[in-house]
Amino acid sequence: MSFYKVLQFNELGDERGNLVAIEGNQDIPFDIQRVFYMYGTDSTMVRGEHANRKSEFVLINVAGSSRIVLKDGLGHEESVILDKPRMGVYIPKMIWKEMCDFSSDSVILCLTNTHYNGKEYIRDYAEFIREVKEKKQ
C-alpha separations of 49 from 7, 9, 18, 70, 117 in Å: 22, 26, 33, 10, 16
Of residues 50, 67, 84, 93, which has the active-site annotation? 50
End-to-end CA distance of the chain: 20
Residue 90 amino acid letter: Y
Cα 115 from Cα 101, distance rounded (Å): 27
Cβ neighbours, 10 Å, residue 88: 29
Q: Is 76 a catalytic residue?
A: no
Cα 77 from Cα 65, distance rounded (Å): 20
Q: Active-site residue numbers?
A: 50
